[in-house]
Structure formats: structure tokens, C-alpha cells
Amino acid sequence: MIPKLNIVPFVSVDHMMSLVLAKGVERFTVELAGYIEEDFRRWDMFDKTPRVASHSAEGVIELMPTSDGTHYGFKYVNGHPKNTREGRQTVTAFGVLSDVGNGYPVLLSEMTILTALRTAAMSALAARYLAPKGSRAMAIIGNGAQCEFQALAFKALLGIESVRLFDIDPEATKKAMTNLAGSGLTLEPCTSAEAAVQGVDIITTVTADKQNATILTDNMIGSGVHINAVGGDCPGKTELHRDILLRAGIFVEFEPQTRIEGEIQQLPAEHSVQELWKVIRGEAPGRADSHQITLFDSVGFAVEDFSALRYVRDSLTDTAFSTDLDLLADPDEPRDLFGMLLRHQKVAAAAP
């Protein structure tokens, strides 16, 4: 069969939901973490450009491209904190995967849901290398759109059994409790961040305020804890008190980007951090001992989106979870674009 060269498979929001449900959220995050791990192991093959941001008073629109030399991917993502007031998402995203050899897109996909899943998979993957052995209890501070995905990814990848939840808005915590009711996790709603972190092995912060906040202070962090800091991801947006950073072993995705966007924007540029891919490759140590505080200062990097697009594309085989999009003008004779237009006119005129 001759492939239709004009067609790009498109995964809509509806289809993404069906794909995720068909796999199950836990299996999806486990498999996706496998793709991310694979790509982090071949980190040096990737073209690592910083994201291209267009800032305005209301928010930011970013393009995040990368390539491994065989495929090229980019994600479009916005961040508009005031959007929720009008019933819109703060963050929405879509992405494209292309063939480097001919430049043709091979997948267009929604990425709002996919980004929540890839962020959760990335967090849990990092924790597998950094969290204390035998971690069973975690706290999630910030119970918004990403909370449940984080909980299920940590259950699936690390064997987390109980989750302590806190949000400044009790309705958000209630929503997360309801959504996770059938998950098999033991859930504990808490009335403060201090209460939430009591006795846990892992703390995830995933709050939404666009400011330098102090979700965690130094006195709240006991020895040996792993912190997964997800919410601080752009200039002027951090979640941790600086003193915590000074006590912790800090792990990042891509240092040049995290210096600008992560918690470590609070630290001098010479403060030592470790890129996670080196730990995954066994080229750098992860957690030093059971007393060390480890911090994954996550901001989200283009390679993770690339892995996610690659995973979705591979998962589509023999499913009905995509539609054909007539995105690429592909005349029979490549140099005859105008002739294609004329033939289209004839076909339209001949139609009854």
C-alpha cells in the first residue's frame, strides 16, 4: 500500500483520554518513564536548544524543540495563571513529532493531558534513582491538575502506598481525594503543609502561584527526605526556602535551563548541581546515603516531551485512537502545487 503522503495522524483530547484509559494511568506512566529513561541514557544524541519563549503581561507562549537526529519534536505550551478565572486551563499544550530525513510530521497530538502524565512519569523516574530505598509514604502539596497523576505514577513506579495531601484550597484536596478514591492508595487530607510532610519519605510540591513562594521551610525537612519540586518552573516562580537548597543534593534535567527556571535560580551560578541523565547512566552518584536530603528541581525539558510523543506514536499501532489529518500539501508532481489547485477546481466542479 502506498502511504498517503498528505496525512498526519492526529491524537485529539478525546482520543488521548481513550488511549490513557485503555492502558490505565499507572501502566501509561510506567511505560512512558521507560521511554524517558531510554532517551536520558542517550542524552548526548539530543540537540538541546533552550525553549523559545514569547512573554506578555498575561503569560507566556513557548516552543520547545529537540531532535535525536532521527526524529524531531516540538511542544507548544502556554502558561497563563489568570486563565482559570475564565474557565480556561492555565497550561495547555500540543506537540508534533517529525521525520528528520524528510521533514514531514508523523504525529500531531494534544499534550495538555500528556504533559501531566510525562511530568508525573519524570518525577517518579527521578525518585527511583534519588528517593530513600523502600519509600512508602509521600506528601503532595498543591492538589491541582497534576496531583492525581503524580500520586499514581509514584504508586506504580516506586510502590508508594500512602499519600498525604495539602492545598491552600480545601476544595482542591477534596477533588483529589474523590478522584483517587478507587486507586488503592491510603489518602490523608492535611490542614497545613507542616502536617502533610509528617513522616513521609517523599515530598512533591506542585503549586501554581506565579511568585517566589515558600511552600516548604527548612525546619519542615527532615534528614533523608526526597523532594520532588515540580511547581517552580519559570523565572520568579519558586516553592522552596533557599536554606533547603543549601542542605540538599540537587539534581536537575538540563542545567542551563534550570539555572533560569528552577528553584536554583535562588542560588549563585557556581553552586554545584548534578544532571540526572548522568545518574541514570551510572556516570555520577545519585543519593549519597540514607541521611542525605535529595532534591529533584524539575522544570520540564523538551527531551521528556519528545519521549512522550515517541511513546504515543508507538502506542497508536492497531488502535483507533487517532484520526487522519489532511495537513500536508502533497501533489502527485511535487513541483506542481498550482496544478493541484486547478485539479481541485475540476473535481469540485464535477461534484453533483
Query: Catalytic positions, please?
Result: 233
Q: Is 116 in the site for a second copy (CB under 8 A)?
A: yes
First-last CA distance in the chain? 30
As beta bridge partners, residue 324 has 9
Q: Tell me the closest approach of the beta carbon of residue 143 to a second copy, in angstroms.
A: 8
Burial label for 52, CB within 10 Å (0-12, 13-18, 19+), is exposed
Q: Tell me the closest approach of the beta carbon of residue 288 to a second copy, in angstroms.
A: 35
Of 5-64, binders to a second copy (CB under 8 A) are: 5-6, 10, 12-14, 16-18, 20-21, 25, 47, 49, 52, 54, 56, 58-61, 63
Q: Helix, strand, or coil here: 342? A: helix
Of 60-89, binders to a second copy (CB under 8 A) are: 60-61, 63, 65, 67, 69, 72, 74, 76, 78-80, 83-84, 86-89
What is the DSSP code string of 27-81?
HHHHHHHHHHHHHHHTGGGSEEPPPEEEE-SS-EEEEEEEE-SSEEEEEEEEE-G
When the beta carbons of 22 and 284 are compared against a second copy, the nearer one is 22
The position carrying cell 557556581 is 270
Count of residues touching a second copy (by CB under 8 A): 84
Of 145-204, binders to a second copy (CB under 8 A) are: 145-149, 172, 175-176, 178-179
Burial label for 164, CB within 10 Å (0-12, 13-18, 19+), is buried
DSSP 262: S
When the beta carbons of 80 and 241 are compared against a second copy, the nearer one is 80
When the beta carbons of 34 and 144 are compared against a second copy, the nearer one is 144
Q: Is 252 in the site for a second copy (CB under 8 A)?
A: no
For residues 196 and 138, give the distance between their C-alpha atoms in angstroms, rounded to a whole number.
9
Question: Pick from 35, 40, 43, 94: which binds a second copy (CB under 8 A)?
Answer: 94
Q: Write the binding mask 271 to 310 for a second copy: x where contact by CB under 8 A, - elsewhere.
A: ----------------------------------------
Q: Tell me the closest approach of the beta carbon of residue 11 to a second copy, in angstroms.
A: 10
For residues 163 and 42, give the distance between their C-alpha atoms in angstroms, rounded to a whole number.
33
When the beta carbons of 96 and 309 are compared against a second copy, the nearer one is 96
Q: Is 213 in the site for a second copy (CB under 8 A)?
A: no
Question: Pick from 103, 134, 268, 352: which binds a second copy (CB under 8 A)?
Answer: 103
For residues 38 and 219, give the distance between their C-alpha atoms in angstroms, rounded to a whole number.
37
